[in-house]
Amino acid sequence: MNAAHLHLMTAHLPIVGIPFAAALLIAGLVGRSDTLWRTGCWAVLIAAAFAAVPYFSGPPAYELVKERYDVSSETVETHAIVARGTSLGLVLLGAITLSLLLRDWQGDPPGKSLKLPLLAAAVLAAYALAWTAHLGGLVRHPELSEPPLRVFPTIDV
């Protein structure tokens, strides 16, 4: 297995994990279930932790791919820029989630005023992950850009 394999296999874990976690958080809020809420928080932490692997395997994967295939360096750079921002967002989301879990564990469960912003951040992270994944797909599948998806912004590098 090389860096490209590792990157592609692990990149999908947070892409699926964060929306799943957000669904659990929603279910916990709507159903007023602390168990579902905590499970959603743990899912956020696990998905955010797994995001480190594709982040660090991205540059070596690019080196392998550019040697063997004709890939657009501009497309890769755009993907990398958005991936960096998304990764930073996941680190922050994970830190906030961990602090809320620790607070809960210490007997001071967070109220709705803290749960709603966490849920909003998880939904935003899910969108950022989808955008990052779309840009990553364009690296080897340029046909995905026609017609352009209107749900993601375009950036020039």
- The residue extents of the domains of the chain are 3-145
Q: What is the pLDDT of residues 26-59, one digit of tens each?
A: 999 999 999 999 999 999 999 999 999 998 888 8
pLDDT of residue 148: 64
Is the dihedral angle over the CA atoms 89, 90, 91, 95 positive or is it negative? positive
Q: 87, 97, 132: which is closest to 117 by C-alpha? A: 97
- What are the start-end ranges of the H helices in 31-111? 34-50, 52-68, 73-105
**Residue 101 scores a pLDDT above 80:** yes
Residues 68 and 139: their CA atoms lie apart, in Å, by 13
Neighbours of 153 (CB within 10 A): 7
> What is the rounded CA–CA span in Å between residue 24 and residue 36?
6
Beta-carbon contacts of residue 113 (< 8 Å; ≥ 6 apart): none
